[in-house]
Amino acid sequence: MNTAELIESFSEFKEFKNIDRVTMMNILEDVFRSMIAKRYGSDDNFDIIINPDKGDIEIWRNRVVVADGEVEDENEEIEYSQAIKIEPDFEIGEDVSEEVKLEDFGRRAILALRQNLVSKIHELEKDSLYKIYKDRVGDIVTGEVYQIWKKEILILDDEGNELILPKSEQIPNDYFKKGDAIRAVVKKVDMRNNNPVIILSRTSPVFLERLFELEVPEIFDGLITIKKIVREPGERAKVAVESYDDRIDPVGACVGMKGSRIHGIVRELRNENIDVINYTANPSLFITRALSPAKISTVGINDETEHADVHLKADQVSLAIGKGGHNIKLASKLTGYEIDVYREDDEQIDDVDLEEFADEIESWIIDELKAIGCDTARSVLEQTVQDLVRRTDLEEETIEEVFNILKAEFE
């Protein structure tokens, strides 16, 4: 195997990811010097010339000409009679440069050199990839879905590096197929078995924060600050924002004209509802805003226990709690207070629309009752269990549960 053949055998490494030309040349010189030192005992008197454009490597050994029979170190000295065979004009004391052919090292040494080179390149690429993505934690990256498994998705970035999006970091409504473009935030970079593993996330609050920075110039420029973000991925998110410039409405700037700015974010998050809220240091007012869209009557704060009692009208309770309890849960996380909701006593409320019980009664049951003209709580309670069993597809046990829920409203 000559030099040209060896260089050709390195063709698979021509497009080195994350390794610049200077670094690559240094790696090549290091592995060649290692081979030389092993063969000759030292590489101090060798020059290695690498020409990446031509794809060749030259090795030159420099020795001093000494009189015949006076050679003490064959690696650094050469007899006069041997030197004049290289160039007849050489004299004792002069330096001789002689090219060393790669084949002089033997096939076994060359194969060891190649293995050493491959190992160094892979190690450097791993280290470089780790450093690059360690500095990008919290940044959004775009990649292409390459392979889909049960527990995770393999994504390739623009450089062909492998990124992992675990199932736990995907929005519940996410659906991807091979070849799809995908955006996510770099959550963390781990080393497993000496290999860097880049973990992405689409459920992290940081992902939503970065999307806001992309869509809202005032946030990117620092005119508006995101104080806190809480999410139930795919369901609902609450974002508290603040502006230090009285001329800028932070909520209006984030939402955009007719929702133009926030619509793109909502689509990216699979129609996740996003509430943008004006931040305030007043806990009572902050809780009131956090429970939007419900209209709050009064808020009682206990700072020692970080507990808040919220009172509101009966028709606002379901709004405060939200579908699946997401609204009140996120409001608690956003404000840092444990929130309890209480209905106000209001004797003027004679009846309640069935839709107000959506958090306690399943929607299909409500639809069954509305189909026979029972739109309110009292209109249902005026019927007997037997009548409702006969007129709907509901079972007696289900109707009795509904009765208990509705009766509790008026007790």
pLDDT (tens digit, 9 = 90+) per residue, 45-88? 888 887 766 657 788 889 998 888 888 888 888 888 888 888 88
User: 204-279 falls under which CATH superfamily?
Assistant: K homology (KH) domain (3.30.300.20)
Residue 186 CB contacts under 8 Å (≥ 6 apart), including other chains: 133, 136, 137, 138, 139, 140, 141, 198, 199, 200
**Is residue 43 pLDDT above 80, yes or no?**
yes
**Is residue 114 pLDDT above 70, yes or no?**
yes
Q: Collapsing DSSP states into helix, strand and coil, what is residue 196?
A: strand
What is the rounded distance in angstroms from the CA atom of residue 352 to the CA atom of residue 316? 11
DSSP letter string, 134-169 = HTTTT-EEEEEEEEE-SSEEEEE-TT--EEEEEGGG
Give pLDDT tens digits for 17-31: 556 667 777 888 888
Give the residues across from 186 on adjacent strands: 200
pLDDT at 347: 41
Give pLDDT tens digits for 118-160: 788 788 888 888 999 999 999 999 999 999 999 999 999 998 8
The helix (run of H) or strand (run of E) holding residue 340 is strand 338-343
Q: Which residue has the tokens 């998110």?
A: 237
Position 328 confidence tier, pLDDT thresholds 50, 70, 90: very high
**Is residue 7 pLDDT above 60, yes or no?**
no
Which has the closest alpha carbon to 178: 204, 156, 202, 201? 156
Q: Which residue has the tokens 């619509």?
A: 263
What is the rounded distance in angstroms from the CA atom of residue 208 to the CA atom of residue 222? 16
Buried/exposed code over 108-135 (b: 16+ C-beta within 10 A; e: otherwise): eebebbeebbeebbeebbeebbbebbee
What is the rounded distance in angstroms from the CA atom of residue 383 to the CA atom of residue 219? 56
Task: Pick left, alpha or beta for residue 45 (phi over 0 → left; psi -120 to 50 → alpha; otherwise beta).
Answer: alpha
Q: Which two tokens stand for residue 281?
A: 């240091």
**Is residue 167 pLDDT above 70, yes or no?**
yes
CA distances from 5 to 35, 116, 119 (A): 17, 17, 19
Cα end-to-end span (Å), the chain: 95
Q: Collapsing DSSP states into helix, strand and coil, what is residue 79?
A: strand
Architecture, CATH, for domain 3-131 = 2-Layer Sandwich (3.30)
Topology adopted by domain 143-199 = OB fold (Dihydrolipoamide Acetyltransferase, E2P) (2.40.50)
Between residues 319 and 227, the one the model is more confident about: 227
What is the rounded distance in angstroms from the CA atom of residue 83 to the CA atom of residue 77? 10
| 127 in Cβ contact with 120 (< 8 Å) | no
